[in-house]
Structure 1
Amino acid sequence: MLKLWRWYQNCLAVHPVKTQVISSGILWGLGDIGAQAVTHSIQTKHPQLTQQKDKEFKINWKRVAITSMFGFAFVGPVGHYWYEYLDHYIRVRLQLQPKSLKFVAAKVAADGLLFGPLDLLIFFSYMGFASGRSVEQVKEDVKRDFLPALIVGGGVWPFVQVANFRFVPVRYQLLYVNFFCLLDSCFLSWIEQQGDAPWKQWFSSIGTLEKQKGQA
Structure 2
Amino acid sequence: MAGLWRSYQVLMTKYPWSVQIVTAGSLVGVGDVISQQLIERKGLANHSIQRTAKMMSIGFFFVGPVIGGWYKVLDKLVVGGTKTAAMKKMLVDQDYTDALIANYYLWPPVQIANFYFIPLQHRLAVVQIVAIAWNSYLSWKANKM
- What TM-score, normalized by structure 1, do the two folds share? 0.61
Correspondence for 2:57:
69
Correspondence for 2:11:
11
Correspondence for 2:82:
99
Tell me which amino acid in the other structure corresponds to 1:158. P
Secondary structure at the counterpart of residue 82 of structure 2: coil
Correspondence for 1:82:
70
Secondary structure at the counterpart of residue 73 of structure 1: helix
Q: 2:139 aligns with which of 180, 186, 189?
A: 189
- What TM-score, normalized by structure 2, do the two folds share? 0.88
CA distance in 2, matches of 1:194, 1:29: 17
* Bigger RCO (CA 8 Å, 6+ sep): 2
Correspondence for 2:29:
29
Any conservation in 2 of the 1:108–1:158 contact (CA below 8 Å)?
Answer: yes
Q: 2:93 aligns with which of 108, 111, 119?
A: 111
- What is the CA distance between 1:150 and its match in structure 2? 4.7
User: Number of paired residues?
Assistant: 145
Cα separation, partners in 2 of 1:38 and 1:3, compared to 1, 3 Å: closer
Cα separation, partners in 2 of 1:32 and 1:55, compared to 1, 3 Å: closer
Any conservation in 1 of the 2:39–2:140 contact (CA below 8 Å)?
Answer: yes
Determine if the alignment matches structure 1 residue 170 to structure 2 residue 120: yes
CA distance in 2, matches of 1:26, 1:68: 6
- What is the CA distance between 1:98 and its match in structure 2? 2.8
Correspondence for 1:161:
111
Secondary structure at the counterpart of residue 77 of structure 1: helix
Query: Segments of 4+ in structure 1 off by > 4 A?
Result: 54-57
- What is the CA distance between 1:33 and its match in structure 2? 1.2
Q: CA RMSD in A?
A: 2.1
Cα separation, partners in 2 of 1:188 and 1:150, compared to 1, 3 Å: farther
Unaligned regions of 5+ residues in structure 1, if any? 42-53, 92-96, 118-146, 196-216
CA distance in 2, matches of 1:154, 1:188: 15
Tell me which amino acid in the other structure corresponds to 2:47. I
CA distance in 2, matches of 1:191, 1:163: 27
Any conservation in 2 of the 1:37–1:57 contact (CA below 8 Å)?
Answer: no
- What is the CA distance between 1:100 and its match in structure 2? 3.1
Any conservation in 1 of the 2:74–2:89 contact (CA below 8 Å)?
Answer: yes
Query: Can you list the C-alpha shifts for 1:85-123, whole angstroms capped at 9, x where unaligned?
Result: 1011111xxxxx53132x122111111114xx6xxxxxx
Q: Sequence identity of aligned pairs in percent?
A: 32
- What is the CA distance between 1:55 and its match in structure 2? 8.2
Secondary structure at the counterpart of residue 46 of structure 2: coil
- What is the CA distance between 1:31 and its match in structure 2? 0.6
Unaligned regions of 5+ residues in structure 2, if any? none
Any conservation in 1 of the 2:94–2:100 contact (CA below 8 Å)?
Answer: no
